[in-house]
Structures are given as C-alpha cells and as structure tokens.
A = this chain, B = another copy of it.
Amino acid sequence: MPRTIGERKDAIPALAEVFRTHGFEGASLSLIGAATGLGKGSLYNFFPGGKEEMAQAVLDHIDGWFRDEVFTPLRQAAEPQAGIREMFRAVDQYFHSGRRVCLIGAFALADSRDRFAACVKDYFAEWVDALAVALRRAGISAAEARAQSEDVVAVIQGALVLARAANDEAAFGRIMRRQERRLLQGLPKA
C-alpha cells in the first residue's frame, strides 16, 4: 500500500530554492539532487515529467502561498487598509527582506516565460487585481486603483532587482516602506 505522507511536497521548498538561485536552465539535475537530498530515482518517481514538472509544482506552490497570504487578505480584509498593510508585511517576509528573489519575476524575464506563460501571467494579473480591489474598497476610483496597483506591484519587483544588484538588502525595505506610506496616505478619510 502507498505511504500516507506525500513526500513530493517535502521536496518543494528545496526545489524552489534551487530554481530561484540558478534559474530553470541553470538548475541541473545534479544540483537539484544535492539540494533536495534525493537521487534521480526518487525525483522521477515524484515528478515523472522531469524538471518541467518540478518547476511547475514550485510555481503552483508559490501561487497558492500568495493566494492565501496576500491576495485573499487584500480582497476580503474587513478593513482594506489592514489588507494592504498585511500585503507589505507578508511580501517582506516572503522575500526575506530582499535577500530572496521572486522566482516568477525571474522566469518572466528569462525564456522560461514561454514555458510557464499561463502561470507567470496569472500570478501578476491576480496580484494587481487583488490590490486594485482593496484600493477600490478604500474609496478610490476603479481606474485610479488599477493604475496604483500596477505601479506598486512593479516597484516591488523592481526593488528585488535593485536589492540583488546592489547586494544591499536594506534597499528593498526602504523602497517597500515608502510605497506603503505613499499608498496609505493617498487614501480618502485617512
């Protein structure tokens, strides 16, 4: 009979780290094996589709995390302001204050974009949309909310680029804090 524990899941954090560090092409099976502690046998047992299925599993996991921790709070928080604050908090935590890179952002820039196009596209579309919902609920017009959301999601991605380029984690926090302040101060009725 099969094991009750899905070991597949346990490999995902390590897989995510490898893909984040080396990209899709750069993440060789030997690196993946070293990072997860699994041999090819196990790897191809859990992910018969090979590297592509591994990456897809990681993307799905990231997607789920953001849905639960960021998008849903943004859409459903009793106070939209609280949802927005929660977004900045969760994002700062997730990206380890800029020391960690956004895998989906990195995939978007590389030619992995085409391979995982739907996933990459949906992730950002959902993020922008969820933030726009919060802003609209906070009293901003639909058009203005979309514009602000697009800008904020963009600046977060850019902050990750800058922080990593300069090897200066502090930069990420600085940019994030300014955006949060700007966004919340721009809302009506304080």
State the A residues within 8 Å of B (CB): 21-23, 25-26, 101-102, 104-106, 108-111, 113, 117, 120-121, 123-125, 128, 147, 150-151, 153-162, 164-167, 171, 174-175, 178-179
User: Can you give 12 contacting A-B residue pairs, CB < 8 Å?
Assistant: A23-B25, A23-B110, A101-B109, A102-B109, A106-B106, A106-B110, A110-B110, A113-B165, A120-B165, A121-B166, A154-B159, A154-B175
| Given known A-B contacts A154-B175, A155-B158, A161-B154, A21 and B101 have beta carbons under 8 A apart | no
This chain: copies in complex: 2
Residue of B nearest to A179 (CB): B151
* A113–B162 touching, CB < 8 Å: no
Instruction: Classify the interface of chain A: helix, strand, loop or mixed.
Output: helix
Q: Which of A25, A105, A158 has the most chain B CB atoms closer than 10 A to its own CB?
A: A158
Contact check: which of B23, B105, B167, B174 meets A121 at CB < 8 Å? B167
